[in-house]
Structure formats: structure tokens, C-alpha cells
Amino acid sequence: MAGAVLVVGALTGHVRRAGADDVDCSRVKCVALTFDDGPSPYTDRLLQVLKDNDAKATFFLIGNKVAPTRPAPNGSPTPAWRSAATPGNIPI
């Protein structure tokens, strides 16, 4: 539930990044963001929030939801799929 609160807060602008550099999670408490059952209508906005806050996440995708947005007919990834993979996010 905390993850959902963080996402809603980030999407609505109610949660702001504290402004930290790289963190050693073996020395301080860390949070891992995961998102299940996507992509959804909110995926593009979520990716922008992650990018704006230099944050990474793991995405667990559903095949029939990915198929319409995966590679274009010419074989190149669509912008949303490319965005999910390139900034360090992990689509699974």
C-alpha cells in the first residue's frame, strides 16, 4: 500500500524527491519500487515522474498489454517501451 501512496503522491505532485545522490542500501534504508500488471494508461506519466526524480523501478508486465505497445511494424520499440528500458528501469 505504501508503494501505491508513493505513486499517487508522485503523480499528483504531493511527494517530492529529497535530493540525494547515489545511496548505499547496505548502509541506509532504501525502498525498491515495483509496478505490476502494466503497462497501463498511467505508464507514460509514471516514467516521466521517475525520470524527473532520477528514480528507477522494476516493471512486471502482462504480455497481452505489452503486445500492442511493443515494437512497431518496422521492429523499433515504441516510445513508451523504449522509455521503460533505457533510463535503467527493468521491464520483466
pLDDT digits (tens, 9 = 90+) for 28-87: 888 888 888 877 888 888 888 888 888 888 878 777 776 655 555 565 555 555 555 555
pLDDT class of 88 with cuts at 50, 70, 90: low
Q: In 3D, which of 81, 79, 56, 55 has the Cα closest to residue 67? A: 81
pLDDT class of 24 with cuts at 50, 70, 90: confident
Q: What was the pLDDT predicted at 16?
A: 47
Q: What was the pLDDT predicted at 2?
A: 43
Non-local (6+) Cβ contacts of 37 within 8 A are: 60, 61, 62, 65
Q: What was the pLDDT predicted at 83?
A: 55
DSSP 45-89: HHHHHHHHTT---EEEE-HHHHTTTSS-TTSPPPHHHHHHHTTS-
Q: What is the dihedral of CA 42, 47, 48, 49, to 10 degrees?
A: 90
